[in-house]
Structure 1
Amino acid sequence: MIEEEYIRLIFGLKMKQMRTEKNLSLFGLAKMTGLSKSYLNEIEKGKKYPKRDKILLLAEALESNYDHLVSLKLDKNLAPIGEILQSNILKEIPLELFGIKESDLIDIIAEAPVKVNAFISTLFEIAKHYNLTRESFFLAALRSYQEANNNYFDEIESQVEKFAKAYSIDLNKRLSIQELEEILIEEYGYTINNDELSQHKELINLRSVFVPSSKTLLVSSETDESQRMFIYAKEIAYNYLNITDRLYTFSWIKFERFDQVLNNFLASYFAGALLIPRKPLVKKLKDFFEKKTFDSIEFQNLIAEYTDSPETFYQRLTNILPKDFNLKNLFFLRFSYKPDKSDIKLTKELHITNLLEPHANESYEHYCRRWISLKTIKEIPNLVKEHLFDTQISSYTHSGVEYFTMSSATKDPFKNGYYRSIGFGIMITPNSSSKIAFLNDENSKRREVGITCESCRINDCAERVAPPKTVEKKVRFAQTDEVVQGIFEKYK
């Protein structure tokens, strides 16, 4: 059945289109039909649907007929909007997260349907061009939500502290697997199975599956201690936060709706905050930031105090630094690489508070090989080390902006034969330099970097893997424009 709301919206859009085509104001239409201006306004916004006698009055005033007005068929200008309204996509977009009511968006569409239609159609074209899936759209919306809140959520932080108090957990000490496992079994009635997943070759990339009907948590025998800790902490989060609309696999296979994406994030945030408590970390970071030179060994030891997963630690920094140090120009990047393949893929990114220089591109361009994250991920397959750590100050040639960047490269815990590296960067500004002493160290390793090889202006770059096509194109256009301007001057 077609929703009544959809029928009202289509009628309102058609009526407004016909009225504006006749250059007729709402006041004028009200005068011709004897209907109030406010009533007609509500019809056009899809809030009311007129009775038969009123439709006949409107049809006569608009020089149309009853059947045409009530038909759900739309002309080419409105047809795409009709498809959008009927597809229910507006209900899938998490508008409320951004303070937008669905009715507000409908008002905007009704106000300028042709222009809005062109805008929405453009978004769809971009989505198709870049193969943007439904899951990708949801994840992009979540990332925007995180960035809008500086990736800090006080309610979850408070819930972690309440949980720790209720279960007599000392947040000043590193948690043990036994503590978390005991809570899952004794408090939430879980059964933990460590054998089942290894019997299915199709599930080789999964680390856990939760069966809600029997509260059975299947954990892969391939999981290391840090993965298992995170899985347990996340399951505790689902239960303690009373989240029922959730995903049942780690890592995820598919999202059915946005609430599952959001709830997966909230449970992950809770897990990260439980494993790496905020207050002790803030104290240690303050001490570390007072050092005039960056101590690589001490920083790696700081990570190891809390977790064996560098990624979990860097993710936690994206919560802590904006809130407790007012450092809001940060980026987090995760790269994936298989040695027998030449491409390096950016699989996850987060920017606070703006889209910073190192970011994803959808044009299949080659990321700058001078980035410290790409350097470490290329080197680690040839080393015995399980964790390769390095830092540098990256100076971007096109903008002059500098970032203190650090990278941790490890084997990919989810894909055999793959490696991953995490890049974490802090923009060097007067504010960040006043908070972090080692940002002022003139002896820090510095490198000129670009974003992609195709857009890079660095000459004689030994790391370049593709010609600077984008730069060359801009130069050609600039030269052409210069000649055209000369012709204008000659013949003006």
Structure 2
Amino acid sequence: MAQTPDPIRLLFGLKLKQIRLDKGLSISELAQNSGLSISYITEIEKGRKYPKTDKIAALARVMDVDYDTLVSLKLNKKLEPISDLLRSRFLTEIPLELLGIDPSDLLELLAEAPAKVSAMISTIMNIGRSYHVSVERLYMAVLRSYQEMHDNYFEDIEDEGDRFLTEFASGHASVDEALLTSLLRTRYNYQIQPFDRETHPELAALRSVFRPESGTLYLNSHLSSEQRTFILAREVGFQYLNLKTRPYTYSYVEADSFEQMLNNYKASYFAGTILIRRLDLVPRLQELFDRPTWSNEDFLGLIQSFHATPERFFYRLSNLLPKYFGIDQLFFYRFNNTAGQTNFHLTKEMHLTRQQGPKSMADEHYCRRWVALTILQELAFLQKNKNHVGALCQAQLSTYADTGNTFFIVSVAQPYQPHQQQNMSVSMCFKLTDTLRSKMRFLNPLTPDIPQRIVNEACERCGIFDCRERVAAPTVLQKKRQIDAMRKSLEKLK
């Protein structure tokens, strides 16, 4: 990972530029009077260079400020939020270049309108504190943006996966639990041991723990075969890709750095490439898309044929569909629900394009017409009344009442975290466009075997007043209409 710029250089550059502007000096005037070159002062102000003592003294003399004032890292009150940002873990740990941001450009933005930018930063920080935004959530938001910029497809990791398959699973030999266990033990000197949630209840939510000092990987004994295989493949990914900075628990207890989270993503991506090979999946998807009708059972069978969890399979789809099928207007989301309860929690989302779809909402009720929620309700009913085990698959064409946009959505529900009595649904959503119809034959024309529903975002925002599934009043919508009526009355007063 590239080194991020030194915050001290950035702070000095920002302070130098602000004092220069306050004194009414141009860069050329400062350069001429201090004996420094224009290009050198420009590099200082962009935070790329930090001058030596004699040069700092020359700059201070020309601008008529004390040497100590110039080198002090303290900014005035208006710029304190900028100082906090430049000193924070955000700047020192997140590689801004991954997001296409040159840190010097960021500094230039800060210097152009420091008071306004400072106010904006202060506002964002206050919002973050009010909503208890953790460092992990901030890192995850940055990672999601990075994935979306690249359509969640990374050719370099795909190539590393192909190289691994050529070396250890040539032909069509599968990468299974036995092969991964053998590699970890013989090639990377791992010890692998189970732990039980009954004897370690505080670790029940963790799937694995790695202790680097002993090279021991502890696996939750209640994992499914698919979950164990993925974790082992992920561990191989850390070693094969030589990713040193990494988390030691899965899932996170806490993230120590963004690099740790990024490397975890790379190892997980690698695991997907060797467990669900692109050369195997792409032609099978093509065959599925060429069919004249849709089958929930066949799609679920496709997932199971790769011995993958539905979540892992959908995630692999998000890697390959944009690259190999040109289907990039899609999003993925996961809901959790405790069987018998009416609360649904959006626990993961990824949007490859800024399309309408589920977003994290505070104190609002997601539309109960979404297939992601109805399938969870059906699964809970079958578990209670018919002793159902295993997964369900359903598809839906969802048309948003407000925008008219239609999405083809495939959702799979399965039991999840039995110790918490929670089920989980994962859904892949595709915007219905001419391109999608040309790729998925069963959508052109629309097949009657796919249910169609009018949906909305949340009950609080919904104008479908005869909705039988409504669980909350449209308070947000009502408030909006009250404000609109007030505006119209104010216009009349003019």
Same fold at TM > 0.5 = yes
Looking at structure 1, the residues matched to 98 and 6 of structure 2 have their Cα atoms a distance apart, in angstroms, of 22
Looking at structure 1, the residues matched to 175 and 42 of structure 2 have their Cα atoms a distance apart, in angstroms, of 61
Contact 2:371–2:396 (CA under 8 A) maintained in structure 1: yes
Contact 2:335–2:425 (CA under 8 A) maintained in structure 1: yes
2:260 aligns to what? Answer: 260
Letter in 1 for 2:354: L
Is 1:374 aligned with 2:366? no
Cα distance, 1:159–1:415 mapped onto 2, change above 3 Å: farther
Contact 1:197–1:219 (CA under 8 A) maintained in structure 2: no
RMSD: 2.5
The CA deviation at 1:42 is 4.3
Aligned pairs for 1:72-111 (under 5 A) are: 72-111=73-112
Cα distance, 1:398–1:39 mapped onto 2, change above 3 Å: same
Contact 1:336–1:346 (CA under 8 A) maintained in structure 2: yes
| 3-state SS, counterpart of residue 327 of structure 1 | coil
The CA deviation at 1:22 is 4.5
Is 1:404 aligned with 2:408? yes
Letter in 2 for 1:408: V
Cα distance, 1:438–1:72 mapped onto 2, change above 3 Å: same
The CA deviation at 1:200 is 1.6
Cα distance, 1:183–1:309 mapped onto 2, change above 3 Å: same
Looking at structure 2, the residues matched to 57 and 270 of structure 1 have their Cα atoms a distance apart, in angstroms, of 51
Listed as ranges, the gaps of 5+ residues in structure 2 are: 383-387
The CA deviation at 1:468 is 1.2
| 3-state SS, counterpart of residue 78 of structure 1 | helix
Cα distance, 1:347–1:88 mapped onto 2, change above 3 Å: closer
Looking at structure 2, the residues matched to 153 and 304 of structure 1 have their Cα atoms a distance apart, in angstroms, of 25
The CA deviation at 1:427 is 0.8
Looking at structure 2, the residues matched to 304 and 54 of structure 1 have their Cα atoms a distance apart, in angstroms, of 66
- Cα deviation, 1:382-421, whole Å, max 9, x if unaligned, reads 2114212211100011111101111111111475311111
Query: Which is further off, 383-392 or 445-454?
Result: 383-392
| 3-state SS, counterpart of residue 393 of structure 1 | strand
Aligned pairs for 1:233-312 (under 5 A) are: 233-312=233-312
Letter in 1 for 2:14: L
Cα distance, 1:31–1:357 mapped onto 2, change above 3 Å: same
| 3-state SS, counterpart of residue 223 of structure 1 | coil
Is 1:426 aligned with 2:426? no
| 3-state SS, counterpart of residue 77 of structure 2 | coil
Query: Which is further off, 23-32 or 78-87?
Result: 23-32
Letter in 2 for 1:142: L
Cα distance, 1:486–1:221 mapped onto 2, change above 3 Å: same
Is 1:456 aligned with 2:456? no
The CA deviation at 1:472 is 1.2
The CA deviation at 1:349 is 0.6
1:187 aligns to what? Answer: 187
Cα distance, 1:190–1:13 mapped onto 2, change above 3 Å: closer
Contact 1:174–1:305 (CA under 8 A) maintained in structure 2: no
Aligned pairs for 1:335-354 (under 5 A) are: 335-339=335-339, 341-352=341-352, 354=353
Contact 1:380–1:409 (CA under 8 A) maintained in structure 2: yes
Is 1:467 aligned with 2:473? yes
Looking at structure 1, the residues matched to 246 and 391 of structure 2 have their Cα atoms a distance apart, in angstroms, of 32
The CA deviation at 1:35 is 5.8
Cα distance, 1:54–1:300 mapped onto 2, change above 3 Å: closer
Cα distance, 1:6–1:192 mapped onto 2, change above 3 Å: closer
Is 1:484 aligned with 2:490? yes
Aligned pairs for 1:221-240 (under 5 A) are: 221-240=221-240
Query: Which is further off, 181-190 or 192-201?
Result: 192-201
| 3-state SS, counterpart of residue 323 of structure 2 | helix
Contact 1:208–1:250 (CA under 8 A) maintained in structure 2: yes
- Cα deviation, 1:352-405, whole Å, max 9, x if unaligned, reads 1x2221122343211111110011112212211421221110001111110111
Looking at structure 2, the residues matched to 35 and 187 of structure 1 have their Cα atoms a distance apart, in angstroms, of 57
| 3-state SS, counterpart of residue 78 of structure 2 | coil
The CA deviation at 1:5 is 5.2
Aligned pairs for 1:310-349 (under 5 A) are: 310-339=310-339, 341-349=341-349
Looking at structure 1, the residues matched to 136 and 233 of structure 2 have their Cα atoms a distance apart, in angstroms, of 24
Contact 2:390–2:415 (CA under 8 A) maintained in structure 1: yes
Letter in 2 for 1:365: E
Looking at structure 1, the residues matched to 56 and 143 of structure 2 have their Cα atoms a distance apart, in angstroms, of 45
1:355 aligns to what? Answer: 354
The CA deviation at 1:34 is 6.4
Looking at structure 2, the residues matched to 54 and 345 of structure 1 have their Cα atoms a distance apart, in angstroms, of 55
Cα distance, 1:463–1:165 mapped onto 2, change above 3 Å: same
- Cα deviation, 1:455-490, whole Å, max 9, x if unaligned, reads 1121211111111122112211221222222232xx
| 3-state SS, counterpart of residue 178 of structure 2 | helix
Looking at structure 2, the residues matched to 264 and 479 of structure 1 have their Cα atoms a distance apart, in angstroms, of 51
The CA deviation at 1:91 is 1.2
The CA deviation at 1:32 is 6.2
Contact 1:335–1:344 (CA under 8 A) maintained in structure 2: yes
Cα distance, 1:18–1:237 mapped onto 2, change above 3 Å: closer
Contact 1:198–1:220 (CA under 8 A) maintained in structure 2: no
Cα distance, 1:298–1:73 mapped onto 2, change above 3 Å: closer
| 3-state SS, counterpart of residue 74 of structure 2 | coil
Looking at structure 2, the residues matched to 53 and 302 of structure 1 have their Cα atoms a distance apart, in angstroms, of 68
Contact 1:411–1:419 (CA under 8 A) maintained in structure 2: yes
The CA deviation at 1:8 is 4.8
- Cα deviation, 1:129-166, whole Å, max 9, x if unaligned, reads 33211000111111111111111111122112211111
The CA deviation at 1:296 is 1.4
Query: Which is further off, 102-111 or 32-41?
Result: 32-41
| 3-state SS, counterpart of residue 318 of structure 1 | helix
| 3-state SS, counterpart of residue 139 of structure 2 | helix
Query: Which is further off, 65-74 or 208-217?
Result: 65-74
| 3-state SS, counterpart of residue 131 of structure 1 | coil
- Of 413, 417, 439, 2:443 maps to 439
In the superposition, the TM-score normalised over structure 2's length comes to: 0.90
Letter in 2 for 1:95: L
Letter in 2 for 1:49: P
Contact 1:174–1:306 (CA under 8 A) maintained in structure 2: no
The CA deviation at 1:228 is 1.1
Listed as ranges, the gaps of 5+ residues in structure 1 are: none
Query: Which is further off, 260-269 or 102-111?
Result: 102-111
